[in-house]
Amino acid sequence: MARTSRIVEISVRVYAMLILVYPSTFRREYGNEMTKVFREMATDAWRKRRSIGMSCLWCQVLVDLLSSVATEHLLSLKSFLYDCLQACTFQRRDTMSGNRHLTLPDKSMDSQSSSDLDLVALVESLDRRVRILEMFLGLLLTSAFIGIGVLAARTFSQIPNLTAIESCLGGLAATILLIVLYWNRSFSNLLLRKGVPKWWCAKLVGALGAVALVYLIPTIAV
């Protein structure tokens, strides 16, 4: 019985870690529910078919994870692009109207509520621009991380007794580590709490730390 719960607990912990590859909004909303569902699946699988059941469950869950992660990241990217388009339209409308609503407030509103609305619009516009910048920076860094992963694979290949496939897996793990550390909001928040002044500093510190790890491990091993 103790062994059952240990295997299930370890599986649940591994799954909870794998969930980190989902986009942060999706993870925050459904991560706990997904872990709960996985726990029930794992308990059932172990009770019915023991280790064979667990192996089948992991095969099913890994295939599901790969396909749904790709879908969610594409949907997230689509939503970002939609926001970009909206921000551009918003900016163009503002330019074309010459900020008419700033000079000619609606007569039905008093001047206070009108200026509040302008402020809200301004903040929304700025927020969108920041998100666009974040998206482009993210895409740029993700591409860079993939490149670093390829380089890491080459470094791994210099370790004696390591096959080509193992080196590639090392490179892939390095890429995933970099992407997760960059995109993971809770990791950035942790760094922010530790005294890093800005969100982009936190992301950069995480990414640089991961790059250092990627190069230190194979170098020490060699």
Partner 1 sequence: MLALADSERHGYGIMQEVTDKSHGTVRLGPGTLYSAIKRMLAAGLIEESAKRPASKHDDDRRSCYYRLTRQGRTIAKEESHRLAALVRVAEAKRLIDLNAPSIVGSN
Tell me which residues in 39-78 interact with partner 1 (CB under 8 A). Answer: 39-41, 60-61, 63-65, 67-69, 71-72
SS3 state at 105: coil
Quick one: tokens of 156?
A: 């791994």
Choose one: 26-34, 89-97, 154-162, 214-222; the region binding partner 1 (CB under 8 A): 26-34
Is 114 in contact with 133 (CB distance < 8 Å)? Answer: no
Which listed residue (10, 14, 17, 37) binds partner 1 by CB under 8 A?
37
SS3 state at 205: helix
Q: Which is nearer to partner 1, 83 or 94 (CB)?
A: 83
Q: Which is nearer to partner 1, 76 or 157 (CB)?
A: 76
Q: Which is nearer to partner 1, 156 or 183 (CB)?
A: 183
Q: Which ranges of the chain does DSSP label H, i.e. alpha helix?
A: 2-18, 24-97, 100-103, 111-156, 164-183, 185-193, 199-221
User: Minimum distance between the CB of residue 55 and partner 1, rounded to whole angstroms?
Assistant: 15
Binding mask 72-111 for partner 1 (x = CB under 8 A): x---------------------------------------
Q: Does 33 bind partner 1 (CB under 8 A)?
A: yes
Is 219 in contact with 210 (CB distance < 8 Å)? Answer: no
Quick one: tokens of 173?
A: 């793990």
User: Minimum distance between the CB of residue 30 and partner 1, rounded to whole angstroms?
Assistant: 4
Q: Return the number of other C-beta atoms located less than 10 Å from residue 34's C-beta.
A: 19
Please, what sign has the CA dihedral across residues 182, 84, 67, 148? negative
- Positions that interact with partner 1 (CB under 8 A): 22, 26, 29-30, 33-34, 36-41, 60-61, 63-65, 67-69, 71-72
